[in-house]
Structure 1
């Protein structure tokens, strides 16, 4: 299977590229600059802007699926449109080229997961620092849900850079969920696993680290 990864130069995206290649997938990464793409060894690099349908069309040619790990910096005051603009363009290109499978990372606090981040996140950090970003994440999710694609939206809890912890809880019933954290490496593993399963097809699971027990993917 050949896959396109958006956001491949980010902290999570680069791990996704590495894990996908390790599992035998052929990976294409759309990057703004090959010279500044970092270590994406084994991936085919295509230069372009993720908001540009022409660049997306070049990158997606011959692919069977897309993983989007696009992110954006905190923006307390300035409007954020990158995520939704790129996703609208991506959905259009995927539908035109009949590439069905899309796995997209958003985050805890998007859509109906809002209010489950714990007091500090819900009442301080999100409204003060991330409000504009999460408004755009909501628009991004809406664009995906309105599409005809075979999508999965993945909502990680707060990300950290620890090694993979190995205990992943994925769920859509958020009763009793008030925050959490998860290693980027575990997010990358979960996302790549979705390429080979329909377990979370057209669903938006929250994923988090669970202290005991086995993986619940």
Structure 2
């Protein structure tokens, strides 16, 4: 899907909506976007938790509500989804797929085409590439249900008809940013790694104005 919003992103500071803005990576996406001069709106469930998101317009609402999303999308050029959910070893997880289904529908209606969506190492064909500890213990014991929903989320994005990029970070840390980020789709020789939230935020924002990874699912790591 291509429209005038795509051109606006390239020629002027983009007007973006961020979901998941109160999470560890989401906060860095917001602060970096504001530092770049972007016009940033965030959809949050709690205004109290978002009080420190300086420079962003706060919209309070549920990311699973299509009507709320449509209002939040008014005047936006692009969306960054940094939605996450806690590990859930026993209960079914549906938040990510439910919110993404509502989001993509709302974006189609409001004619906002660019979507950069963070999922993670272990989603789709990146499963089994996290290294022994992640693949054999953490994933099956703690994250299996979360990643089943991430898989549903990715499928919804792929079928949306939008201009999407699915970003799969390796294991996240809070270390300082590095100069080089590796973006991989051939994972045959990749067996675990890490990346800082700062670098994830930087890579995600770069995808708003570049097409190198359009309709692709890069795993990003150091």
- 2:178 paired residue number: 165
For residues 57-206 of structure 1, the aligned pairs below 5 Å read 57-206=70-219
- 1:23 paired residue number: 36
- 1:42 paired residue number: 55
* TM-score where L is the length of structure 1: 0.95
Partners in 2 of 1:180 and 1:59 — Cα distance? 35
Partners in 2 of 1:166 and 1:135 — Cα distance? 33
Once the two structures are superposed, residues 138-189 of structure 1 have per-residue CA deviations (whole angstroms, 9 ceiling, x without a partner) of 0000000111100000000000011112221001111100010000000000
Once the two structures are superposed, residues 22-70 of structure 1 have per-residue CA deviations (whole angstroms, 9 ceiling, x without a partner) of 1111000001121221411000000001001111111111000000000
Structure 1 consecutive aligned stretches of length 4 or more whose deviation exceeds 4 Å: none
| SS in structure 1 at match of 2:121 | coil
- 1:215 paired residue number: none
Q: How many residues align?
A: 209
Q: Residue 106 of structure 1 contacts residue 155 of structure 1 at CA under 8 Å; is this kept in 2?
A: yes
Q: Residue 155 of structure 1 contacts residue 206 of structure 1 at CA under 8 Å; is this kept in 2?
A: yes
Gaps of 5+ in 2: 1-13
- 2:6 paired residue number: none
Q: Residue 91 of structure 1 contacts residue 147 of structure 1 at CA under 8 Å; is this kept in 2?
A: yes
Partners in 1 of 2:179 and 2:52 — Cα distance? 24
Partners in 1 of 2:110 and 2:171 — Cα distance? 34
